[in-house]
Chain A
């Protein structure tokens, strides 16, 4: 633990006091963490007839219908992504001890990449097949991208700010970076932040498929997402939500809260290179990681773990590996880098939220989960991707990377407490 001076009148350190997640490998954060440590994949075949003729028929779907875990009335007016967000928020809030917070000092920041795509597409079918009078009056609140954030804010009575960063697959991490700004600037004392996504539907799947972004390993779903492996052929779509309860250390200490870790810094940069292709040398990602370290007042020697964005695309993983090696320099061979997406698939706008939960647990427990399906090393990667299974490691600072179409790069730095 680094005892840095706290500026007089400033908010001091920002700490993580609650975790919540709904993912393809678990219905909550502990189940997700246990599955990841055990190396269990959540990717499965899509058995719905609508996918029968699709070139891609695999995804990381959440196994328990979120509607089953909600009151019938609350479920019926919420999009699937909003349901994931609500469940993750309830878990995170309870995990934080259900604190009593002045509503004007409580904010919510939940990012999403796509918004309520399933609602929009299903209701378009209703409009065409049954006419306008059968369209749900809840279509707009269910499809708007700020829906998950608003759902959580209504649940918790948050009145400081409700924000929704939209930056494709960096959205969840972007939300946490914005939450850090809100806390450090004094706009809030407590922020619930992360990402939510639910867009596994034939159209988004077809769109990603036509980009040739997805793995077509339909005959072996659990082996399809293979970040850093030489045989990787694209990502696997996933869904879910991951949220953190973040608060100023003063607020957390005053109520005797358990602190998992410090959110020590964030780096946010843009590539301005191409709409969808990563800048090949990973320069934007490198800058984001260095900014996060600088914001955390940490040096490279402090880094004990990197949770990679690592989607399993041929070019993306190489660009990120180059960025990680540039930042770590001579330390590169000794720092474990693992890919959550090897098991969950790619949760798009929720990925940064879920992977923040995972990185916080790694720092807290000093254990890192493996990258599964790493069978054949790719010479262009040259990282220790933890292929053998979960590992105990010494971590002072851990980084979590998230990148998105549009050239968004976000890196979060978490520091161990105690």
Chain B
């Protein structure tokens, strides 16, 4: 799966949960400051991403995911078998 495919999948989730246009979900935009995603919606986005990409996103990591780019990088490495 390419970065662009991960990003597109994530954008779909963000749109589903928050109504924000998928096009606005670019790698460097900030979830909280730019997209105005609140903390409860972030929890839902993480749960949906876990399901979609078959990964686990612990709360301690979730707080560090400030942008879709961060999230894609995390999901990619989390999905790689050890």
- Interface positions of A (Cβ within 8 A of B): 71-73, 76-77, 133-134, 136-138, 141
Of the candidates B18, B40, B47, the one whose C-beta lies within 8 Å of that of A134 is: B47
Query: Nearest B residue to A136 by beta-carbon distance?
Result: B44
Q: What are 17 A-B pairs with beta-carbon distances under 8 A?
A: A71-B19, A72-B19, A73-B17, A73-B18, A73-B19, A76-B17, A77-B40, A133-B47, A133-B50, A134-B47, A136-B44, A137-B40, A137-B43, A137-B44, A138-B40, A138-B44, A141-B40
Assembly CA distance A269 to B40 (angstroms):
41
Q: Report Cα–Cα, A226/B19, bound state, in Å.
A: 46
Chain A residues with CB under 8 Å of B19's CB are 71-73
Interface size on B, residues (CB 8 A): 8
Nearest A residue to B15, CB-CB: A73
Query: CB-CB < 8 A to A71: which residues of B?
Result: 19
How far is B41's CA from A136's CA once the two chains are assembled, in angstroms? 10
Q: Which residue of B lies closest to A77 (CB)?
A: B40
Chain A residue numbers with a CB within 8 Å of B17 are 73, 76
Q: Mark B18-51, 1 if CB is under 8 A from A, else 0.
A: 1100000000000000000000100110010010
Residues of A within 8 A of B40 (CB): 77, 137-138, 141
Task: Known pairs A71-B19, A73-B18, A77-B40; list 14 more (Cβ under 8 Å).
Answer: A72-B19, A73-B17, A73-B19, A76-B17, A133-B47, A133-B50, A134-B47, A136-B44, A137-B40, A137-B43, A137-B44, A138-B40, A138-B44, A141-B40
Question: Which residue from chain B places its CB closest to the CB of A72 in the assembled complex?
Answer: B19
Q: What residues on B are CB-neighbors of A138 within 8 Å?
A: 40, 44
**Minimal Cβ-Cβ distance residue in B for A71:** B19
Q: Which residues of B contact A73 (CB under 8 A)?
A: 17-19
Report how far A42 CA is from B18 CA in the complex, Å: 35
Distance to closest chain A CB from B31 (angstroms): 15
Inter-chain CA distance A71–B47, complex, in Å, is 22
Closest residue of A by beta carbon distance from B18: A73
A138 to B17, CA, bound (A): 12
A132 vs chain B, min Cβ distance (A): 11
Whole-angstrom CA separation of A68 from B43 in the bound complex: 25
For A136, the chain B residues whose CB sits under 8 A away are: 44
A67 → chain B closest CB, angstroms: 14
CA A137 to CA B39, docked complex, whole Å: 9
Q: How far is the CA of A76 from the CA of B18 in the complex (A)?
A: 10
B47 proximity list for chain A (CB < 8 A)? 133-134
Residues of B within 8 A of A134 (CB): 47
Complex Cα spacing A141 to B38, Å: 14
Please give the distance in Å from B49's CB to the nearest CB on chain A.
12
Give the CA-CA distance A76 to B44 in the complex, in Å. Answer: 11
With both chains docked as a complex, state the minimum distance between the C-beta of B48 and any C-beta of chain A, in angstroms.
Answer: 11
The smallest beta-carbon distance between B65 and chain A, in angstroms, is 16
Minimum CB–CB distance for A135 against chain B, Å: 9
- Inter-chain CA distance A76–B47, complex, in Å, is 15
Contacts of B18 in A (CB 8 A): 73
Q: How far is the CB of B61 from chain A (nearest CB, A)?
A: 14
Bound-state CA distance A77–B43 (Å) is 13
Complex: chain B residue closest to A133, CB-CB: B47
Report the minimal beta-carbon distance from A72 to chain B, rounded to whole angstroms: 7
Least Cβ distance of B19 to chain A in Å? 4
Q: A141 CA to B39 CA in the complex, in Å?
A: 13
Distance A71 CA – B44 CA, assembled complex (angstroms): 18
Report A376 CB to chain B, min CB distance, Å. 54
State the CA gap A381–B47 with chains docked (Å).
Answer: 58
Going nearest first, the 9 A-B pairs with the smallest beta carbon separation are: A73-B19, A137-B43, A137-B40, A137-B44, A138-B40, A73-B18, A133-B47, A134-B47, A72-B19
Specify which chain A residues have a CB less than 8 angstroms from the CB of B44 in the assembled complex: 136-138
B43 CB contacts on chain A under 8 angstroms: 137
